[in-house]
Amino acid sequence: MRTKQKHTIKNTKIFKQNLLSWAQQFDEVLWLDSNNYSQKYSSYDAILAVDAFTAIQTDYFNAFEKLKEYYNTTSDWIFGYLTYDLKNDIEALKSNNDDALEFPDLYFFQPKKIFLIKGNTVEMLYLKAVDDEFKTDLVEIERSKNPIIEQASTINPIKIKLKIHKDEYFEKVTKVLSHINRGDIYEANFCQEFFAENTNINALETYNKLNAISKPPFATFLKLGTNYLLSASPERYIKKEGSKIISQPIKGTAKRDTDHIMDSILKNDLLSDEKERSENIMIVDLVRNDLSQTAKKGSVMVEELCNIYSFDQVHQMISTVVSDVKDRTNPIDIIRTTFPMGSMTGAPKISAMKIIEDLEETKRGLYSGSVGYISPDGDFDFNVVIRSILYSEANQYVSYSVGGAITAKSEPLKEYEECLVKAKAMRTVLEN
């Protein structure tokens, strides 16, 4: 169904920049970039999918069954996203909060052109209908130049607003703590939105700035018409390699410091922080339970527990949970039985989702959802949409949300400060 060609890249960094710049001519663009971050589980350094041949767009109702039918029908690579609000398809839940972005709940497309980058090689997979464009595209990509990153205009600066102000945040976290003390939940991931109205941004320039600051292993640039996701995500939601399933939840965050000694102290403090470790372990237990629904008996294992990974902006506590999936399990069923990811809900999952829906002011939408791909042989890789800017060009609305895990040991002020640490890169990019 697809014609393949491989090419050697002279300068991978420049090629990647030119490739993403060239892609802007299309209405459907999905760019996934590891930023050459060293990972045990990494199939590609970067992937680009452009120009929809077919697509599926739907609300949450019966969304996973529709996606399964679409995937089975195309029998091809599909790329797209799952919003957090697909929880309403899985459980008897609702999403009634404000939604100024208005992204569809689910969107996947079958691209005409795919670029798979690994080392100094790019593999191009083109549908037969466009496979006569290989040479022309390579010439155009070579000529494309990454736009110069300029300072934001001082004439029309972006003014960031808060949906939940500091005192109200404290009140809401106190309510979460009361649920925990009553035994309704053990942990809840409570989130808040920062936004700007009547705002236009250059999406690609903004993504480039954000990526330059953070250099995360699951960076994403998504363009679907006038809807954009500019993501500096450090977190993998779930990956399938053959029969092996890998989930890598993040729980536990500490800021970086320019002083090497102080930075090492912050890192060690995170590693030994009882509260942060308990957050992580609770979600590991939840992920183990989720994976068990499609796993062969006895195959769910914790491969690493509470390891510290250092990124440009923060230190993160990450665990890796793996399983061996049952034979003939549809890949969509693996996603459905683990979605939404536990790191963005809390535990028990359903009770936590109900409580945070009541306390949050904004419909999460694509934030705390997932972006990724499924290959024709059923392998897939999806990130967690955090540390991300969402932009509706049609609505002139820019948004980024941050959250944190609330447990019995949480202190509202420290949770608020952690949110500001997580929001720093997005705010810096938008306001400067």
| CA dihedral sign of residues 22, 372, 344, 321 | negative
For residue 48, the SS3 value is strand
Is there a contact between 240 and 380 (Cβ–Cβ < 8 Å)?
A: yes
Of 128, 155, 167, 176, the residue nearest 407 (C-alpha): 176
Query: What is the phi/psi pair of residue 152, to 5°?
Result: -60, 145
Q: Which of 215, 251, 354, 363 is catalytic?
A: 251
Cα–chain center distance at 187: 21
> What is the CB neighbour count within 10 angstroms for residue 310?
15
Residues counted in the chain:
432
Of 43, 46, 45, 53, the residue nearest 2 (C-alpha): 53
Q: Which of 193, 235, 360, 418 is catalytic?
A: 235
Taking every pair of C-alpha atoms in the chain, what is the biggest distance, in angstroms? Answer: 65
Burial of 328 (0-12, 13-18, 19+ CB in 10 A): exposed
Annotated catalytic residue 65: no
Query: What is the phi/psi pair of residue 383, to 5°?
Result: -95, 180
Phi/psi region, residue 346 (left: phi>0; alpha: psi -120 to 50; beta: rest), is: left
For residue 131, the SS3 value is helix
Annotated catalytic residue 235: yes
For residue 115, the SS3 value is strand
For residue 424, the SS3 value is helix
Instruction: Look up residue 309 and give its two tokens.
Output: 């990974």
Rounded Cα gap, residues 40 and 59, in angstroms: 35
Catalytic (active-site) positions: 235, 251
